[in-house]
Amino acid sequence: MPAGSGDRVSRRTVLTGVTALFLAGCERLGFLAANAPAAFGSYTRQTNIAYGPDPQQRLDVYVPASAIGPAGAAPPRPVVVFWHGGRWRHGDKADYRFVGAALAESGYVTLVANYRHYPQVKMPGFMQDAAQAALWAAAHANEFGGAPERLYLMGHSAGAHLAALVTLDPRYFAAAGQRAPYIAGVIGLSGAYDFLPLLEPDVQDMFGPPPLYPESEPINFVRSDAPPMLLVQGLNDETVKPKNSRNLAAALRALGVPVTLKLYPKVSHADTVAALTVLLRGRAPTLADIRAFVSEGSVDAKPPGV
C-alpha cells in the first residue's frame, strides 16, 4: 500500500521526537525511531511476498513512486536486494523499512528479504535462501518497474556476508537448479568476509564441522569475473573488524575486479546501516556512496551475450 506523504510540520515533529529514542541505546526503540520517518516516503510497499515455502522465506518490495504508472512511462530502475544482519541468528525485514525507503527514494526497486536463521538451519541453509531471493528478484523485476540486468545484492553484517558469498561461490545458484542471475554489483556494509578462526561455539556449529569452515568465507571464492563491489566499513567497528573489508578488497583488486572501499573514521558497526535513516545521515555518507556506486553502472548494461 502507498506510504503516506505527510506535511513538513508533522515530519519535523516525528524527527525531533524519535531522535532521542534512537540515541538512547535500546535496539527496539532504535528501530522504531529509524523507521518512523520512512512512513513519509514517496514509494509503495508490498509486504510478505513468498519466495519459498518456509515462513521465513518472505520479502518486502519497495517501489519508487516515480516508477509507478503506465508501462513504458519510466525507464526500468536498478533493483537492490537487501539482507539484514543479526549474526545469522536474528533480525527481521520489518525492522529495516528505513533501508527500503532510503533506496526506493533513491530510485531503486528494493527488496528487503528475510531468511532462515540458526538454529533452524545451519550453513548452507541461509545461503540457499539468499540464492532463492536473488533469483526471485531477477525473475520478477519487470513487474515492479525494475531492470533484471541491473541487479545489486546488498547487506549489512551477516547480510553482507550472504550478498558476497552467494555472488562469489557459484554452488548456491547451481543448487537451486537455475542459471545465476546477472549481478551488476555487490554492496556490503560492515560485512564478514575474512573471519577465521571461529571462536564462538554457536558460530562454530552453524558453519561446521571444522573442515567446512573455509567454505563460509567469501574471500576464499574471489574470482576475476566477479562483479564490481562497494565495501563500506566503520573504523570503530568492534563487531566485524575492518580487516574483513580491507582484505576482500585487496584480494579482488589483485584479480582486476573493480572495488570501491570506503572506510569511515569514528563509525561503528551499526552506524553504516543506521546512516540510511534520515535521522542519522550525518553519521556516515553511506547513502551518498551507494548512489555514486550504482550510478557508475551503465543504464544500458546487459548481461554477457545479450
pLDDT of residue 305: 41
Q: How confident is the model at residue 301 (pLDDT cuts 50, 70, 90)?
A: very low
217 in any annotated domain: yes
The answer to whether residue 26 scores a pLDDT higher than 60 is: no
1 in any annotated domain: no
99 in any annotated domain: yes
Number of domains into which the chain is organized: 1
168 in any annotated domain: yes
Q: Look up the domain containing 120 and give its range.
A: 45-296
Per residue in 138-195, pLDDT tens?
Answer: 999 999 999 999 999 999 999 999 999 999 999 999 999 999 999 999 999 999 999 9
The answer to whether residue 61 scores a pLDDT higher than 60 is: yes
36 in any annotated domain: no
302 in any annotated domain: no
pLDDT of residue 27: 64
4 in any annotated domain: no
Mean pLDDT along residues 94-117: 97
32 in any annotated domain: no
Contact 104, 43 (CB under 8 A): yes
Per residue in 214-266, pLDDT tens?
Answer: 999 999 999 999 999 999 999 999 999 999 999 999 999 999 999 999 999 99
Q: Please state, in angstroms and rounded to a whole number, the distance separating the CA atoms of residues 167 and 227.
A: 8
pLDDT of residue 222: 98
The answer to whether residue 10 scores a pLDDT higher than 80 is: no
Q: Could you tell me the CA-to-CA distances from 244 to 38, 198, 287, 288 in Å, in that order?
A: 31, 14, 21, 22
Closest to 172 measured CA to CA, from 207, 202, 211, 216:
216
Mean pLDDT along residues 7-32: 48
CATH code for the domain in which residue 75 is found: 3.40.50.1820
The secondary structure of the chain, three-state, reads: CECCCCCHHHHHHHHHHHHHHHCCCCHHHHHHHHHHHHHHCCEEEEEEEECCCCCCCEEEEEEEHHHCCCCCCCCCEEEEEEECCCCCCCCCHHHHHHHHHHHHCCCCEEEEECCCCCCCCCCCHHHHHHHHHHHHHHHHHHHHCEEEEEEEEEEECHHHHHHHHHHHCCHHHHHCCCCCCCEEEEEEECCCCCCCCCCCHHHHHHHCCHHHHHHHCHHHHCCCCCCCEEEEEECCCCCCCCHHHHHHHHHHHHCCCCEEEEEECCCCCCHHHHCCCHHHCCCCCHHHHHHHHHHHCCCCCCCCCC
Task: Give the cell for residue 114.
Answer: 528475510
- Nearest 5°: the CA angle 237, 241, 247 is 135
The answer to whether residue 69 scores a pLDDT higher than 90 is: no
Q: Which residue has the higher pLDDT, 233 or 4?
A: 233
